Amino acid sequence: MGRGPRNYEEKLITPERAAELIEEGWKRADLHVHTTCSFDVLPVRDLHPESLYDKALNLGMDYVTFTDHDTVEACEILGWDREKFVPGVEMSVYDPEFAGHVLHINVFELDRDNFFELREIAEIEHNLKSFIKYLKRHKLPFVYNHPFWFEFHREPNPSAVPRLARLFPVLEYNMNEPKQKNGLTIALAEKFGKGIAATTDSHSGKLGKVYTLAKGDSFKDFFRNVEKGKNYIVPEDLTRELLIDEMNTWIDLIFEKSQKNRDIKNYLTGIKSLDAMVRISRSELLNNFPGLNKTTMSLLYLISNTGLPASFYLHTEESLAKEIEKQIEREKQS
């Protein structure tokens, strides 16, 4: 699927340059966004598919897609043929034999039948190659999400990523990954002649902070140009400042906007710090004493703004990225 090595240095552009291209008719899209239909998104009105759809249009997105975890519920809520809407899903595929770890794959322009058939391959066959063969046979656009992300409870398998990347037309530059990891993804895309797409992977409503630009009066043409490398991206990497801002957003969502929605009692992300905040916010003590609730929220804001949790997380991720890079180099030399 590759088309030979590419140089992506000129593909990473500023918002100012992007504005010029948009004036010339280039289209933009954020191809990885989560709504309340995902298990790890808080059940608040601002993150409902209808709210995020309106927000995407107001931001000037030419194609709007939601890629919730292993569900197309957002498509059912909005309607599959909504104006400018591209049906999408983020599928989890665990292939213990070929891949050795879980991959997240964004699939677009699918219908209800496609989804159920893909879910069967993912959950019963556990066969990545069969999954990708299905996508190709049905001509469904797809992206290898955050290639160097690994589930926290599984052993990382970074040496497999270059081999897996060959199977995909487009790799993801993810705003929630540090620069080192995104740099490794860019290097893979350049080496194997793959397309690159910049996404927010937003779970908190911050869609459109980064995006992908390409020409195309239809999503199919838009994505085809991304595959061919005929596109630009407006990227951003995870930094200490961005992570502090994101944590503060989660505190606001958990303590302010979710308190009115009792569905939060069923909400878990799998991220220890966020789940701890959820458990604190839904305690009977805080619910019975609003003043204590406000004090707890202020304390969490104070801890977040010290930057210590953000710094610790980034240090861990950057160390992992260095280890991944070393392991890939060792594989090349062996």
Q: 81 or 323, which is more confident? A: 81
In the predicted model, is pLDDT for residue 280 greater than 70?
no
Beta bridge mates, 174:
199
Question: Within this chain, do residues 252 and 225 fall inside the same structural domain, yes or no?
Answer: no
Question: Within this chain, do residues 157 and 77 fall inside the same structural domain, yes or no?
Answer: yes
- Name the percent of the chain lying above pLDDT 90: 63
Question: Within this chain, do residues 150 and 266 fall inside the same structural domain, yes or no?
Answer: no
Residue 205: Cβ-neighbour burial (10 angstroms; 0-12, 13-18, 19+): buried
Report the domain count for the chain.
Answer: 2
Q: 148 or 259, which is more confident? A: 148
DSSP states of 161-215 as a string?
A: HHHHHTT-SEEEEETTS-HHHHHHHHHHHHHHT-EEEEE--BSSS-TTSSEEEE-
Question: Within this chain, do residues 165 and 148 fall inside the same structural domain, yes or no?
Answer: yes
Joined tokens for residue 99: 């891949």
Question: Within this chain, do residues 222 and 292 fall inside the same structural domain, yes or no?
Answer: no
pLDDT digits (tens, 9 = 90+) for 106-132: 999 999 999 999 999 999 999 999 999
Question: Within this chain, do residues 20 and 102 fall inside the same structural domain, yes or no?
Answer: yes
pLDDT digits (tens, 9 = 90+) for 35-62: 999 998 988 899 999 999 999 999 999 9
Q: Using the 3D structure, point to which of 200, 220, 238 is the last residue of a domain.
A: 238
CA nearest 237: which of 12, 3, 10, 9? 12
Whole-structure pTM over 0.85, yes or no? yes
Quick one: pLDDT at residue 262? 47
Question: Within this chain, do residues 140 and 277 fall inside the same structural domain, yes or no?
Answer: no
Where is average pLDDT lowest: 55-64, 87-96, 236-245, 249-258? 249-258
Where is average pLDDT lowest: 31-45, 68-82, 147-161, 165-179? 147-161
Question: Within this chain, do residues 57 and 69 fall inside the same structural domain, yes or no?
Answer: yes
331 within a domain of the structure (yes/no): no
Helix (H) or strand (E) holding 74: helix 73-78
Contacts of 26 (CB under 8 A, 6+ apart): 18, 213, 214, 215, 232
Joined tokens for residue 242: 């961005």
Question: Within this chain, do residues 220 and 249 fall inside the same structural domain, yes or no?
Answer: no
Question: Within this chain, do residues 270 and 193 fall inside the same structural domain, yes or no?
Answer: no
Instruction: Give the domain range for residue 226.
Output: 9-238
Question: For residue 325, is it left (φ>0), alpha (ψ between -120 and 50) or beta?
Answer: alpha
Question: Within this chain, do residues 80 and 194 fall inside the same structural domain, yes or no?
Answer: yes
Segment 285-296 shows an average pLDDT of 65
Where is average pLDDT lowest: 1-5, 55-59, 194-198? 1-5
Question: Within this chain, do residues 118 and 133 fall inside the same structural domain, yes or no?
Answer: yes
In angstroms, rounded to a whole number, what is the distance separating the alpha carbons of residues 261 and 274? 17
Quick one: pLDDT at residue 250? 81
Q: Using the 3D structure, point to which of 238, 262, 292 is the last residue of a domain.
A: 238
